[in-house]
Amino acid sequence: MSAGHHHNHGHSSHSHHDRHGVHSHIPTNFSRAFALGITLNIIYIIVEVSFGLLAGSMALLADAGHNMSDVLGLAVAWAGAELAKRPPSKRFTYGLGGSSILAALLNSLFLLVACGAIAWEAIERFSAPSPIASSTVIIVASLGIVINFGTAMLFVRGQKEDINIRGAFLHMMVDAGVSAGVVVGGIAIYFSGLNWIDPLISLLIVALIFWSTWGLLSEAVRMSLAGVPRNIDVEKVQTYLGSLPGVQAVHDLHIWPMSTSETAMTAHLVLPEGHPGKGFLVAVQTEMKVLFSIHHITIQIELEDEEADLCQIDCSSQN
């Protein structure tokens, strides 16, 4: 049934969680984690750039550039998370939860730009590799492993429930791996004396950033276009709704993300005369939350006879 149909009948029922209920599943406030993570990474960036210039290491400077993008990414994710907490208003009746989706989208685009800049500089270094103070590179990058891994652990509690928090967690875990790669490169240069290993490590860093960013970008674009979240199987939802007692048909099923941690659903259920009342809708809400992590649900109840009439209206309007 298209959105153009109007159902102003007494038997039509809508099932909504209030806004407080929608937010009840969101993990603990991560503002302190964002603030601490940003502070630690800014300090490390200053150290990394300073020693990268002194040591002449493109790998350290590339990693510093990536860490700067992550600081901006953490800031954007933090802003998105804070905006998502704002209550609904007359202009934004769902609140500003969608800002967390925009944050994920901006982060992924920014990281792709950073990939291009780092790759360009690394390729230029191949033509004229410069001596590297490998011992300095090893020490500074080892510090990065500790800082990045520690920052990632600040977000480990919420990364399973919120893609915005998961993005922060995965980025910092990738950074820890990148720093480990720089350490390996420093050790290789120390023993081999081959300075071209440094820009090679930079290109490997770019490949790792691109690989981790592509998944975030595709998911952010999907959510921006109101696509079904990847963790929800539409066919399973359709099958579940169709198996409910008395349900004759399910149509106009729509599932979309309201934010990176909230999912909404609307559906029309065709029931016979004497359909279940409020208890039926409450039971559906509970099961949808447990089975599919869908928290904001609107259900339109239709009677079998009415469905036939509406289908006739559809046919006549198309003709």
Per-residue pLDDT tens for 174-184? 778 777 877 88
Whether 106 and 206 share a structural domain? yes
In a domain, 57, yes or no: yes
Q: What is the pLDDT of residues 91-128, one digit of tens each?
A: 888 888 888 888 888 878 877 887 887 788 778 777 77
Are residues 162 and 293 located together in one domain of the fold?
no
Instruction: Look at residue 275 in the predicted model and tell me its pLDDT.
Output: 63
Q: Quick: pLDDT tens for 123-163.
A: 877 777 666 667 777 888 888 889 989 988 988 887 777 77
- Domain of residue 264 covers 229-318
The answer on 152 and 190 residing in a single domain is yes
How far is 10 from 269, CA to CA, in rounded Å?
15
- Residue 239 pLDDT: 93
pLDDT, tens only, 224-238: 898 998 889 999 999
**One domain for residues 173 and 58:** yes
Which of 183, 198, 224 is where one domain is finished? Answer: 224
Which pLDDT value is given to residue 27?
41
- Asked whether residue 177 falls in the same domain as residue 248, the answer is no
In a domain, 14, yes or no: no
pLDDT band at 28 (very low <50, low <70, confident <90, very high): low
**Quick one: 37 and 160 in the same domain?**
yes
Q: What does the mean pLDDT of the chain come to?
A: 78
Higher-confidence residue of 265 and 187: namely: 265
Residue 196: predicted pLDDT = 82
Q: The tokens 């539409």 sit on which residue?
A: 234
The single residue listed with the structure tokens 């590339």 is 62
pLDDT number for residue 17 = 43
| CATH number of the domain residue 97 falls in | 1.20.1510.10
Decide if 2 is inside a domain.
no
Using 50, 70 and 90 to split pLDDT, how confident is the model at 264? Answer: very high
| Residues 6+ positions from 96 with CB-CB distance below 8 Å | 83, 84, 86
Q: Return d(Cα 300, Cα 247) in angstroms, integer.
A: 12
| Residues 217 and 257 placed together within one structural domain of the fold | no
Q: Is residue 100 part of a domain?
A: yes
Residue 58 lies inside a defined structural domain of this protein: yes
Regarding whether 165 and 267 lie in a shared domain, the answer is: no
Q: Do 204 and 314 share a structural domain?
A: no
Q: Are residues 80 and 205 in the same domain?
A: yes
Long-range contacts of 149-152 (CB under 8 A, 24+ apart): 149/173, 149/176, 150/40, 151/36, 151/37, 151/40, 151/41, 151/175, 152/176
- 145 in the same domain as 90: yes
Query: Which residues make Cβ contacts (< 8 Å) with residue 32, sequence separation at least 6?
Result: none
What order do you get walking across the sheet with 249-257 strand by strand?
249-257, 263-271, 296-303
Answer yes or no: is 3 within a domain: no
153 & 280 share domain: no
Backbone angles phi, psi at 4, to 5 degrees: -70, -15
Q: Within 10 Å of residue 168's Cβ, how many Cβ atoms?
A: 31
CATH of the domain at 240: 3.30.70.1350
Q: CB count, 10 Å around CB of 103?
A: 27
At residue 19 the predicted structure's pLDDT band, cuts being 50, 70 and 90, is very low
Q: Which of 208, 224, 240 is the last residue of a domain?
A: 224
**What's the number of domains the chain is made of?**
2
